Amino acid sequence: MIRDVKDLSPDQKMAVESLLGRPVSERETVSVQAFQPPVLSDQRRQEIVGALQQYFAEVDAKRQPASVQEADDIIDEAMRDSRPGYRSHR
> pLDDT by residue (tens digit) across 38-63?
899 999 999 999 999 999 999 999 98
pTM for the structure as a whole = 0.44
Domain boundaries, the chain: 1-34, 35-90
Give the span between the Cα atoms of 25 and 43, in whole angstroms: 45
Name beta bridge partners: 25: none
Cα(63)–Cα(66) distance, integer angstroms: 9
Query: In 7-60, which ranges are E strands?
Result: 29-31
Nearest Cα to Cα of residue 30 among 21, 38, 20: 20
pLDDT(11) > 80: yes
Q: Does residue 28 carry a pLDDT above 90?
A: yes
User: What is the rounded CA–CA span in Å between residue 76 and residue 90?
Assistant: 10
